Amino acid sequence: MTSDSGSAPVDLYPTLDLEQLASLGSGASFWRTEELPGVPALVLTDGPHGVRFQSGATDHLGLAASDPATCFPPASGLAQSWDPGLARRIGAALAAEARAAGVGVLLGPGINLKRDPRAGRNFEYFSEDPHLTGVMAAQLVAGLQAGGVGASVKHFAANNSEHDRMRASSDVDPRPLRELYLRAFERVVRDSRPWTVMTAYNKINGVYASENRWLLTDLLRDEWGFDGAVISDWGAVADRVASVRAGLDLQMPGPADLDDADVVRAARRGDLDRAHVRRAANAVARLTTRARDGRHASQGRGGQPVEVDLDAHHELAREAAEASIVLLANDGDLLPLSPGTGVAVIGAFAREPRIQGGGSSHVSPTRVDVPLTEIRRIGGDDRVTYAAGFGGDDDDAGRLLAEAVAVASEAEAAVLMLGLTDDQESEGVDRQHIELPGDQLRLLEAVAAVQDRIVVILSSGSVLDLTPVVPHATAILSGALLGQGGGRALARVLYGQATPSGRLAETIPLRIEDAPSWDNFPAEDSHVRYGEGIFVGYRGYDHRRREVRFPFGHGLSYTRFDYRSLTVVARDGGQRVEEWTARVKVHNTGRVRGREIVQIYSSLPASVRRRAPRELVGFGHIDLDPGQIGVLEVVVERRDLAYWDEPAGRWLVEGGEYVFAAAASSRAIRIEVTVVVDGDPRPVRIDLESTISEAMADPDARLVLDEVFRPFAANAGGASGGASAPVGASIEDLVGSIPVGRMLSGFLGLDREAVARVAEQLSRIPR
């Protein structure tokens, strides 16, 4: 369609005039693009865990009603399944419902990292880890687009907080930007080729994402090969002309007649290359054609739309919720409960469950499994009592607390459903802390005074401070946000009809002050400094040797698994190894069938680069019956061992002895093996600004400098009785941080001509 740079487009619609081309670059209405001769209109709508289609009043904040659609677990919940295949199936189901609603592009998934536990939109994002995020998101996108509906991967990029989100600059260095905040985007773009990428509201290092040519053209198109349309978040464009020049194709929402006119005037004045206008128009036209073809592919005989099986989709939502529940603690094997046990279910969430976050992604579910109803269905109506415990006004607080204590004191066990409400965790605002509401903590303390068998079920889109919870809870289940099927899933796990198998996608700290981003969150004066660098999430807790409440990847089961062996075999890739297969032998030593999620971490103990102690590079799951032994294969790709080398300006794999670990969490290492990995050459250009250490580490540059230093080294050696000592041993350690140019002129006294000759020799070294 276009060249990667957008400078020489192949014109698909040569008969369209400049005004028409400009109009294709903005929406016709809130959710619809322009329609022109030969260019059909396209409907976009919010996702990403359900189709938030508004056939009536429209808005982007979830204020107006939307048509019913299956509410699958949001990303924060689905990520806890660690199941890419499940994500792909959900993507396919979303595509079917989107097509039925006439939607061509679903706005999602959101793949920004959970940099800080307080970020208000964490419920819409997968993880603190870019590998888990990228793998899960790539499969959701693949399932969605195989169903004929485009994805809009968002929010590109470094959108990791809500405070001042439409002005704030995310000030982040190149290495963490590449290794963390862009890495999942790169994987999804390269592996799943999304139809669209959505720009974020925020600035990146002082430049709005929608106006950032490096981001939208140099990186996204030229380097990654993106061939879709770049669209703005709703209201994210501050300067349409600058955005089109940078690489934006579609400004939403519409109509935006004044901005269209600005584009036309700038093009006619020569301030904006018309090639950019045509690039944008062609990208939008191609997108609308893709969507039209997707609609046609979904039609059956006679051109009638295929019916959506909402019952099947609800069952899929239940399956996904079940796979996403994490058993955090289970002292004395309190869980699973036996049907017929006298249980007090306490908490307003038992009747009105929190299934998703607030804001633009808020879906109107087709139905909702109510936890209390489902618990009674399995446990027995006459064996399950209920008390709200919290949720009323101040006048009701004492009565609700007393009712909860009464039912808890008469039960054999209490199940407390605690968490955050929509107004406590929503798009548009960050949290001030990670504490549970005070009325819920008072409820827990009061129940614990009369009941010592307590199960706490947590509902929230990001982590909570569990310090006041752990002393009172015998068992803790993390439900995150589970979508409309969560009630049945929780009941089945409580009573052992399903074995919990989810794993945390985010570290739960002992306190918020331990979070690596604590000192640099949120924005101040419209800037947020990413001062923790590459040490985000578990990388930061490990690097700083902080104890945590529950580590990344943690999750218990009703059965037990032993890791019997780990072998890592390289795949023959010619001159260098491109991937390895980690084979893990796992034994279910317990009494029930279960699913084990095996995590593969890598580390390079002798690295000369600053690195996290370990990083996730692969994962997979295996289902085993009691006593069964199975072998799980997990592929580790070379690209996941690479770091971003700032001087070289490229990804590099450092050579050395890597430790590959099969683990049950980032801090539950089961087996380790050492694998020798050949490194990439580090083609750093050496010049007069390079340090002596950098220059002497380069073989060719060292030859040049040896000739210059030899007379001085000989003199120094003679004075010390060691004239034959190598240069590195006598001088380099002392002067390694001095730039070459200043060493030559300031310390060795070479004149300008001599220094220039050295510079010229260094410049001829091939790279």
Distance CA 615, CA 369 (A): 37
3 state SS of 140: helix
- Rounded alpha-carbon distances, angstroms, from residue 2 to 67, 376, 619, 693: 37, 60, 37, 45
Respond yes or no: is residue 562 known to be catalytic. no
pLDDT of residue 6: 40
CATH number of 561-677, picked from 3.40.50.2300, 3.30.379.10, 2.60.40.10, 3.40.50.300: 2.60.40.10
- Rounded alpha-carbon distances, angstroms, from residue 225 to 280, 432, 539, 572: 16, 40, 30, 26
All residue ranges of the chain with pLDDT < 70 are 1-12, 56-64, 297-306, 573, 713-733
3 state SS of 713: helix
Residue type, 114: K
Residue 198 near residue 233, CB atoms below 8 Å: yes
DSSP per position, 402-450: HHHHHHHHTSSEEEEEEE--GGGSBTTB--S--PPPHHHHHHHHHHHTT
Question: Per residue in 137-158, pLDDT tens?
Answer: 999 999 999 999 999 999 999 9
> Residue ranges per domain, the chain?
18-56+64-303, 312-550, 561-677, 692-763
- Rounded alpha-carbon distances, angstroms, from residue 242 to 209, 238, 258: 11, 9, 15
CB burial string 415-447: b at 16+ within 10 A, e below? bbbbbbbeeebbbebbbeebbbeebbbebbebb
Name the class of domain 18-56+64-303: alpha beta
The whole-model pTM stands at 0.92
Instruction: Catalytic residue, from 83, 233, 260, 465: name it.
Output: 233
pLDDT of residue 550: 98
pLDDT of residue 655: 96
Q: What tokens were used for 633?
A: 């294969």
pLDDT of residue 7: 40
- Fold category of 312-550 in CATH: Rossmann fold (3.40.50)
Question: Per residue in 542-570, pLDDT tens?
Answer: 999 999 999 999 999 999 999 999 999 99
